[in-house]
Amino acid sequence: MKKSILMLVAGLASVALVGCGQKSSEAEIAVVTDVGQLRDGGFNQGTYEGAKEYAEANKKSFTYYAPANGANASDADRIEARQLAIKNKAKIIVAPGFLQAAARRTVAKENPEVKFVFVDGWTLTDSTDANGNDNGKALNNVTAISYKEQESGYRAGYAVVKAGYTKLGGTFGGAGSNPACNRYAYGFAQGANDAAKARNKNVERKVSYRYGSSFNASSELKTQRTGWYTSGTEIIFSCGGSMVQSVVAASQEVGGDTKKIVGVDVDQHALSENVITSAQKGLAVSVKLALGEYYGNEWDSKLGGKTQNLGAAEDATGLPTNDDAWRFKTFTKAEYNTLFDSIKKGTVTPRSDVAGDCNVESFWSQDIFSNISITLDK
């Protein structure tokens, strides 16, 4: 039997286990989480917090749904979560993650009166080709928000190398096929390479997509990252939801406070003293913006059937600069601000032409990586 769908009703301070056929509280704004955990310190949490903050500030009812079966959720589970949200009077459903695309498309086609916000997504259409790629007419009740993750990745890679780190690691979710994770990874490598070039240094970097398909923490992931740290890796970019928990555990086990981490999506410095910075994107801000435009009767003019691709120009990518989160000792905020402005103005433009599958050695052996030696750990 399927596990029940867990539903937390924010603002009503009640928690219920909801299964098929059971009655539950109604809410007009709903979030459907992706794989991982709600409070993953990453894209699920950022999406949830944006929707929750908007609902509370504007006195709208709000809830979230986690599809049944957790990391093993199927499209049927994701469809069921959306159907339950609609049964409970949802007018707009916000959901992050590329794995939810098929379920979102199915339910959106069946419920044209309901609006859907596809976070970390792309424009969905009413049909797909043999490979599952959208090739039909855009669904006007779906809007997508995507980000220029390569910009934040670039800044993080540049910063850690300018700060003196030369033995880098990167662990990424999505098994090599997640576009957002791949843009982060690609940008990080470019930034590290350019900083190494500026310092007239050569740096090393390990890249792995192992144990990341579910975006969850695991003992296997912790063991692999412990091995990296033990063999000399100084800092690991953890890009994939709850996977960061395994990297934090590995860093603390091996090096106490000497082995460092780059967080992702949101400011993750509170997870550990070892998180030296985070490659952020404006999840909460962009969700609040989309909800505001929906309730401001701007869906048709600004959102329906469209994708917003947000980056430095919209202040939607960057590193945290508040004092608690800024843990660089030699790379200064002034240097960072100069770097940020160069990307915002287009003087520096990190490439985003990632492969469909980045879990291949040929992608990481490109000529653009002149000062960084990249090893793919498969």
Q: Does 2 score more than 60 pLDDT?
A: no
State mean pLDDT over 225-233. 97
Residues in the chain: 378
State mean pLDDT over 168-197. 95
Q: Is residue 123 helix, strand or coil? A: coil
More confident site: 3 or 172: 172
The pLDDT value recorded for residue 34 is 85
Identify the DSSP state of 176: G
The pLDDT value recorded for residue 29 is 98
**Phi/psi of residue 345, nearest 5 degrees:** -85, -10
Helices 219-230/243-255 angle, 10° precision: 40
pLDDT category at 214 given cuts 50, 70, 90 is confident
pLDDT digits (tens, 9 = 90+) for 136-173: 999 999 999 999 999 999 999 999 999 999 999 999 99
Identify the DSSP state of 152: H
Q: Is residue 204 helix, strand or coil? A: strand
In the chain, pLDDT over 70 holds for what percent of residues? 92
pLDDT digits (tens, 9 = 90+) for 304-363: 999 999 999 988 999 999 999 999 999 999 999 999 999 999 999 999 999 888 999 999
Among left, alpha and beta (phi > 0; psi -120 to 50; other), residue 132 is left
Q: Does 43 score more than 80 pLDDT?
A: no
The answer to whether residues 206 and 375 touch, using CB atoms and an 8 Å cutoff, is yes
pLDDT digits (tens, 9 = 90+) for 111-135: 999 999 999 999 999 999 998 889 9
More confident site: 299 or 8: 299
| Domains of the chain, first to last | 5-147 (3.40.50.2300), 149-280+319-376 (3.40.50.2300)
State mean pLDDT over 8-30. 51
The pLDDT value recorded for residue 132 is 86
| 81: enclosing H helix or E strand | helix 75-87
Give Cα separations from 136 to 125, 126, 146, 305 (angstroms): 5, 5, 20, 12
The pLDDT value recorded for residue 19 is 38
Q: Does 89 score more than 60 pLDDT?
A: yes
The pLDDT value recorded for residue 22 is 35
Look at the block and give the residue holding tokens 């509280």: 25
Q: Does 56 score more than 90 pLDDT?
A: yes
